[in-house]
Amino acid sequence: MPHRRMYRVLILAISAALLLVSVRFGFADAWLDQYALPAMSQSEATPDPAGSGSLEASSGADSGADMPIAPKPVVLSNRVTEYHISVTLQDDGTLTGEQTVTWRNPGRKAVSDIYLHLYPNAFSPGSTFIKESGGQLRGDRMTPGSYGSMNLTALETEEGETLLPRLRYVQPDDGNTSDKTLASFRLPKPIQPGEKTTLVMKFTVKLPQVFARMGKAGDFVMAGQWFPKIAVYEPAGTRGRTAEGWNAHQYHGNSEFYSDFGIYSVKINVPAADKVAATGFQTRMPTVANGRKVYQFYADDVHDFGWSASPSFQYAVESFSSEGVPGVRVQLYLDPSQKNLKDRYLHAAKSALSLLGQWYGDYPYSTLSIVVPPADASGAGGMEYPTLVTAAAAKSASPGYELERTVVHEIAHQYWYGMVASNEFEEAWLDEGFTSYTEDKLMAAIYGVHSNNTVEASYLTDPEPLKLDSWRYNGSDGYAENVYLRGKLVLTAIEKRVGEKTMSKIMRAYFQKYRFKHPSTADFQKVVENVTREKWNDFFSAYVYRGQMSDFSVASVDSRPASGGGYVSNILLRRNGGSAEPVTVLFRFADGSTVTKTWNGVHDREQLQVKHPEPLLYVAVDPSQAVVLDNLRFNNYLKAEVPEKARTRLDIGLSKIIDGLIGTLAW
């Protein structure tokens, strides 16, 4: 008995010591948050006050915006980083924050330098982002003179040694010395493989007028890419790397982001009237004092943290579960001008989650928040963050299907951007192309709205490789056309070749194998080959790595009377671009009959001869438009050539007819 009592006392003492030590770094909050009251208990204890701006959802929930959730102790990712951040939204719209971030070396070599993304500096004069974008993004323009910035005011080790004098801005992509979106600094001592370092930082962010996913519009705030973020250190083998090292790029006019998975515990201090939507979930009730409100959010196995605040949000929440969605609170932060559209937003969100869970795999998070920005904050609309998305800005009280399309697109990002987490600097199509493909699938399945692939392919007049650094595309149009549209059509082309059922297996296998793994284009090709048991080198080489489009054409048709009766026609077909694939060829004759043949498309030209009792009228290659990557349809059809004698007789006959018509019009 004495030994057991001593053992219990020793365990309690060690636990207390660990808790006291962890307070310094904010870890105690995460521990205590495990014991938050259940949502129902909190709801009963603190009913929503009248006039809070909540919309009653179909579940009959009250405001719910302040109800905490307890984290689940399930580790899904490698959790390279751990952020504990405290940020205050000042009355003038600036953010002041401090963070303690712990980084673990995931490689096999010692690391001496750390790279930091300081994204808000993209909105400073002379930045690479402003130079490349011309101050506009997706049709939205930066307000003249409304600049943003990030000032790192403290950078220390956990022992208190300052590292700020070691900080230097680097521009590995373009050498623009005015760009301050990426910085590096030397550590006091190298971090050995598997070991960790903890850094303490303080920073100030000046928010621009809402533009490019970030800023302030009246009392609305969108905080995206708002804190100093450690870049990704890739071990050998990641995305095909032969040697480990940092993958660090500046913030460009076209590019989005790339980060490691980790844990985020974030305190957000805002004016008391504000409602806050954020990545993850609240772990405790907000505290209110001196006209301010402090929210506490927690998220794990995510690679970013975004938040938005406004006193005008109309809040609605519904609990939802289905196959692949064990249980999630769908939270809507709605602009008041669209309060009558609550059901459309919630229906789109729940329907998309349900299908994504069935098609690809589990949605493992407990929340999904949708923010609808006000009309004057369109630059904040249509963006994705882990467990939080923004819809299109509320410019219309009666929008068309663009409302649903934006919502399902951004929710699809939760899978390809959020969990698979591709490198959007270098392989953006693995996120945007996959998300656009999934968006089309969702819109067709939920609303019966189908995209016209033939028309969309015709827009692609300047195809470029899909595996290309985002800032190397031919402007923002080239980036959008290739990464979003052509990337989607490449996936659709694979589906056309293998069938919808096999394509579903490919997409699910890819998600299941590489979620939380940062895969590459080559990784996706391996999945395609494993599922289909075929080699796809020619396809990926043509459409992904060389940036080609398919172009099947009828080059010439020569039809003449045959010596033994009937007609003989010689047809030359060409494949002017793309990889080999079978294609249908249609022959129509003067008596209305048709003949179809299949050309395997292996060679870039094919000579065919057709004999028929009646004259050949025309030839059409791919008449059903099954080759979705063919963007030059005008050469898919050609009338039969007329023999010289017949052409002369026809010309004389037409001349006489025209002369006669002119004579009748003479005065």
DSSP annotation string for 7-24? HHHHHHHHHHHHHHHHHT
Task: Report the distance separating Cα 599 and Cα 631, nearest Å.
Answer: 19
Is residue 534 a known part of a binding site?
Answer: no
412: enclosing H helix or E strand: helix 402-413
Which residue stretches of 177-318 are H helix? none
Task: Report the distance separating Cα 205 and Cα 555, nearest Å.
Answer: 61
What single DSSP character describes residue 430?
H
Is residue 249 a known part of a binding site?
Answer: no
Residue whose token pair is 């493909």: 437
484 noted as active-site residue: yes
CA proximity to 154, closest of 167, 136, 137: 167
Task: Report the distance separating Cα 195 and Cα 178, nearest Å.
Answer: 34
Task: Report the distance separating Cα 401 and Cα 447, nearest Å.
Answer: 9
Task: Report the distance separating Cα 327 and Cα 343, nearest Å.
Answer: 19
How many angstroms separate the Cα of 477 from the Cα of each of 174, 211, 381, 417? 20, 18, 19, 21
Q: Which of 132, 234, 244, 410 is catalytic?
A: 410
Phi, psi of 510 (to 5 degrees): -65, -45
First to last CA, the chain: 128
CA proximity to 335, closest of 255, 394, 291: 394
Q: Which of 365, 484, 510, 567 is catalytic?
A: 484
The answer to whether 387 and 297 are in contact (CB under 8 A) is: no
How would you classify residue 52: left for phi > 0, otherwise alpha for psi between -120 and 50, otherwise beta?
alpha
The answer to whether 235 and 106 are in contact (CB under 8 A) is: yes
Residue whose token pair is 């969108």: 222
66: amino acid identity, one letter: D
Is residue 409 a known part of a binding site?
Answer: yes
Residue whose token pair is 């349809």: 633
What single DSSP character describes residue 247?
E
Q: Give the sign of the dihedral formed by CA 546, CA 635, CA 619, CA 649.
A: negative
Spell out a b/e string for 314-323, using b for 16 or more CB atoms within 10 Å of the CB, else e.
Answer: bbbbbebebe
CA proximity to 390, closest of 349, 350, 430: 349
Task: Report the distance separating Cα 358 and Cα 280, nearest Å.
Answer: 22
Phi, psi of 165 (to 5 degrees): -65, -20
78: amino acid identity, one letter: N
159 noted as active-site residue: no
- The residues near 48 (Cβ < 8 Å, ≥ 6 apart) are 54, 62, 63, 64
CA proximity to 61, closest of 44, 77, 80: 44
452: enclosing H helix or E strand: none
Task: Report the distance separating Cα 511 and Cα 505, nearest Å.
Answer: 10
Binding residue numbers: 409, 413, 432
Active site residues: 410, 484
Q: Binding site for Zn(2+), residues?
A: 409, 413, 432
